Structure 1
């Protein structure tokens, strides 16, 4: 009987144990949670090399850009001059030289009548020269064409400049060559005595046999050229060769 009770108690304990195991096995389980990631350890930046300055920060694209200032006008804009005009501040050395009389490049010319006064001492014999400037006795002036001025230069070259054939030169007709507004040469013709005076000189004066030979060459050219001067002033320019009678 004692053995039977022991067996019964053992079976009961076994059933309790099995039931307990079943309860544990059937109980709901929580899902395992993933471990939180561990943040990486900060990487220490390498220190700059000794003596090396850190690179400058890039410019801010939103920053205002400097605006260009007003353009300053050139000094020449304050003193405009017409083409070919010689500036008052430009000296003779700045003019372009020429191999042909008047030995300075010219760009225009004018014809003159002057000295419609009685012959007398102190009256300038050239309408313009570097010593006396302009004659105070200018009666008329008119522009002439480059071709006409070129012919006047050719006649001066042909006679090798001035040629005095009398003792009483008193020119009343002239051609003046200009570089801009500056006179650079004048040829002055006297139709009463036949003399031709020029400024500047065509060549230095000669003496002895050289002067005699030169004079013969000049006279030969003069006989051909002087009638050209007469036709030039009288026919081409319409200027009388003799002055009007004084009242």
Structure 2
């Protein structure tokens, strides 16, 4: 059985941008800041494309939940090789309060609507580092899950996933339908070529709203304040081991 793959793509502040906290500490500055696809989601898109190139996948559908600018992220996925896209349109003010459980509910509904049997996500988004959406979506769908995948092998409806865990590597055997999350070492994403970027403009992109999927996206908790991390104190050099031991004693380390 060939896979029909749904890949979640989140638009985040680009990894090379220095993050700044808003003066009122309600969040981080996003206006006028470069955004791109979450790097782990890029890896997920790439893995889906590789499955299709091996003729193990029939169709790749990219999905993103957020404001209009998320369509740029979806066009990137289409230029990489996804077949079509779905944009779940969420107003900017609602998107700023969107939480992993709401995203998981949206993804689960889209997966059911599209009758896919494989959902790929990045293991986490680099903006909030929650690492929750994939696991929550698998639970809502009651599908098998293979999180933190560094290798994926597909044979019929059997999926073998090598997972990165604290103690090393773990191999799990799963049956489709499955939810998989891509880890850093799964692959190296390709660059979208100019011809493919042009072709992506003609690929279909459906638009939905949370209400169309019957999902309530109201937040369950409130962020009270966002703070800059504490500045790191400057280090100091010592001339000898004895001096190092003395300083460590003064600091209460020894």
The TM-score range, normalised by the shorter chain, is: under 0.3
Q: TM-score, normalised by structure 1?
A: 0.22
Greater CA radius of gyration, 1 or 2? 1
Q: Which has the higher strand share?
A: 2
